[in-house]
Each structure stands twice: as structure tokens, then as C-alpha cells.
Amino acid sequence: MAIRRVDRTAVRSALVVAVCLGSPGPSAAQGGSAPLSATAGAQTTQTEQGHTDQASREAPGTEYPALHLSGFADVDFAAQNKSAGPRGFSEGQFVLHFASALSPRVNFFGELSLTPRADAGSGTPPASGFNAEVERVIIRFDQSDQLKVSFGRYHTPVNWWNTAFHHGQWLQTTISRPEMVQFGGTFIPVHFVGALAEGAFPAGGWNLNYQAGLGNGRGNVSSRAGDAGDNNARPASLLSLFTKPDRAFGLQVGGSLYFDRISVPGQPEFSERITAAHAVWQREDPEIIAEIADVRHREIGGPLTASSLAYYVQTAYRLPSFA
């Protein structure tokens, strides 16, 4: 178990706002397929990207399209040594989620973040106060629980945390994400642009889930997805499998594979293979999350190889309510 000591005391407060836009009466989420859930976290039954599946028949009077808009913002306070970082209050991310049921089987989901800049107002021309980023944009067709096909920009389903906890930190237990899945990090590709097929099978109570994707690999900047197109002729591919057995409610165990070829101008090409596994117990009394990932690179036509390993274990316990 890796432990990093942080010499600071931090307090986070959060403001959550939600606005529903649409026609009166039954919401579109009651239709043949649910909109891509903007806020579904680790406490709900999920498929890729934290979407909550609600298999229900179309309600009478349901109208399409329907739009649900929600948002999240947080304010931090830190008391720490000056060399460790900023002190006092600071703004976190402001995040907007757009979930729209376009028809009983077709849904759209978008996520936009605004992150404050430390250099706001400096430079020529002056830097803006916030960086705007399209974090996720997904359109999905739900054929059945066994097959759902989508296209867009995702949080790469290469490990558990990256698809359980998105932007909007009230979803997660800890103040920050594990180092291996930090936004803007390079250990794993946090974002993925392409197509994804996913589904779930009861399998006699084992509840087997799969996710298979094909799309653009890392961009010229390794922390970025290939938003403007793939920079070589070899797309990235991924496969994720996990089970949620009925006999152990709250348990999820699975693994994933990711393959890509990394091409950076002026540097040798490397093949990339990521192997990851996770075991999660989500009963909250206790909560246990454990993940490990191995990233291997091999120079194309050359002798260079590299291997990097990362892991974390998180435990938590929900205190009883005294209300």
C-alpha cells in the first residue's frame, strides 16, 4: 500500500445546483432508456462513464427531446507551508452536465469544466481567468441491456476510478484523485475519443459486464486525447470486463487491457500496453477500493523498453447517523 504524506490541512465545501429543463409530466428518464446520467457515482449500478441503467417501459405522455442540466462547484481552503502551494481559499472546478433523452433509445451526454488559472490577467494578451474544457461528449444508442453503442469523448474505461468518479468531487470520498488517474496526468490516458460497445449479462447471478472500444490514441501531448484526430494510422483499442455477483452485493472485480502506438514528432514511435485490475467493495461499512495498473512501452524497431507500475488501496467507513 502506497502512502504519501501531505503536510497540510484542507477543508472543502461544495455547492451543487441542478436545473431540470423539459416538458411537465413524466420525465424522459422513464422512457425506454435512461439519459446518460450526469451524476451517477460509485454508489449506483453503472455501465461505462457512470451511466445509470433504468430498464423501464416508455411512460405515457413522454416527450422527446428532454434536457436535464446540472452543475457543481467547490471552494477549497488550505493551511500549509508556502512552499507546498497556495494558502487560503481557492476555487475548484465549475462543472456543467448536459443529459438529454433524444428518443426512447438514443441519449446524449456532455460535460464542460471551467478551471481557474493561476496566471489570470498576466501576459499579452492577458490570460483568461478560467480554462474551458469539453471533458465528455457522448451520444449512445441502447439496443438492449446486452448491447449499447456510443460515440464521442469519454473518460477511458481502463480502470475503475476513472469511470466511477468524474468531475464534480462530491462523488468521491477523498479530496483528490489517486495519482495514477489525475486529470492532466500521463500515466494512463484519462480521456478517449472514439466508439464504445458495452453491455451486461446476468450469467446466473454473476452479472458480467463488458466494454470494448476503438478510437484515437494519445495526442502529441501525451496527457491529451486525440481530439483533432489520430496522429498515426494505428487506432487505440481497449477491452474491459468486470463482474458484480449477486451473492456478494457491493463487490465488483474486473480487469482491462489497452493497446496503442504513441507517435510524437521528432521522437521514436513506441507501442503501449496497459494492463489493469481492480477489486471494489462498496457497502460503505467499510468501503474498500484497490487498483493496480502496469504500463509497458516498447520502441518500434529499436531496443528500448520501459515498464511502470502504479497501485493504490483506499479504505473508508461511513459513521452511523445520530440524527
Task: Please choose, from the candidates 262, 249, 263, the residue with its C-alpha nearest in 3D space to the C-alpha of residue 296.
Answer: 262
pLDDT of residue 61: 62
pLDDT of residue 37: 40
Question: 233 pLDDT exceeds 60?
Answer: yes
Question: 10 pLDDT exceeds 50?
Answer: no
41 domain residue, yes or no: yes
Q: Which residues pair with 191 in a beta bridge?
A: 155
Domains contained in the chain, number: 1
**Residue 76 CB partners (closer than 8 Å, separation 6+):** 10, 11, 12, 89, 90, 91, 92
Question: 55 pLDDT exceeds 70?
Answer: no
267 domain residue, yes or no: yes
Q: CA quadruple 18, 24, 28, 30: dihedral positive or negative? A: positive
Residue range 156-168: mean pLDDT, rounded: 92
Least confident stretch, 14-23, 117-126, 268-277: 14-23
The pLDDT tens digits of the residues spanning 203-229 come to: 999 999 999 999 999 988 888 988 888
The pLDDT tens digits of the residues spanning 78-104 come to: 888 888 878 889 888 899 999 999 999
Residue range 194-211: mean pLDDT, rounded: 98
User: What are φ and ψ of residue 81, in 5° steps?
Assistant: -60, 145
104 domain residue, yes or no: yes
Domain of 309, CATH number, reads: 2.40.160
109 domain residue, yes or no: yes
Please provide the average confidence, as pLDDT, over all residues in the chain. 83
209 domain residue, yes or no: yes
Question: 16 pLDDT exceeds 90?
Answer: no
pLDDT of residue 274: 98
**Structure confidence at residue 232 as a pLDDT band (50, 70, 90):** confident
**Structure confidence at residue 124 as a pLDDT band (50, 70, 90):** confident
CA distance 25 to 253: 39
130 domain residue, yes or no: yes
**Residue 123 CB partners (closer than 8 Å, separation 6+):** none
User: What are φ and ψ of residue 265, in 5° steps?
Assistant: -50, 130
For residues 210 and 180, the answer to whether their CB atoms sit within 8 Å is no
282 domain residue, yes or no: yes
Range of the domain at 110: 8-316
Residue range 218-244: mean pLDDT, rounded: 91
For residues 111 and 38, the answer to whether their CB atoms sit within 8 Å is yes
**Residue 191 CB partners (closer than 8 Å, separation 6+):** 135, 153, 154, 155, 156, 224, 225
pLDDT of residue 167: 86
**Structure confidence at residue 57 as a pLDDT band (50, 70, 90):** very low
pLDDT of residue 253: 98
Higher pLDDT, 245 or 320: 245
2 domain residue, yes or no: no
CA distance 137 to 178: 24
